[in-house]
Structure 1
Amino acid sequence: MRTSEITAGMLVRTNLADTELPEGSVGEVVTVHEDPGAGIDIRFGDGPLMNILDHGLDPVPRP
């Protein structure tokens, strides 16, 4: 997914395993930084914000 396709409030799913998150974790986009190298801030559940690069995310369709 490209950063330009991601907006605040969007639900996304991780497509890469991480030491802190299993692959397929769903979270809500909080901040999309202007610099693509700065990543995207996402909140997973009630946890803290995590910063993930856009290539590690896929959109979650809303019902």
Structure 2
Amino acid sequence: MTSPVEWQKSTFSGGGEGNDCVEVATTPGTIHLRESDAPSIQLTTTPASLARLLRHIRSTEA
């Protein structure tokens, strides 16, 4: 598996340089997510799977 090279901080994360943010990186065919305070723990998924999850979350919001 190819390791992500460049992590980007989510625009929805808190401001500043603290460790309270979600970061995302991509490699061919995959999306990697991690919390900045635990960078060794990563969630890896495909764009299609993440899109399905987000659609489901949005459709069930109260």
Shorter-chain TM-score category? 0.3 to 0.5
Structure ranking higher in strand proportion: 1
The answer to which structure, 1 or 2, has the higher relative contact order (CA under 8 A, 6+ apart) is 1
Instruction: With the length of structure 2 as denominator, give the TM-score of the two structures.
Output: 0.35
Q: Which has the larger radius of gyration?
A: 2
Instruction: With the length of structure 1 as denominator, give the TM-score of the two structures.
Output: 0.35
Structure ranking higher in helix proportion: 2
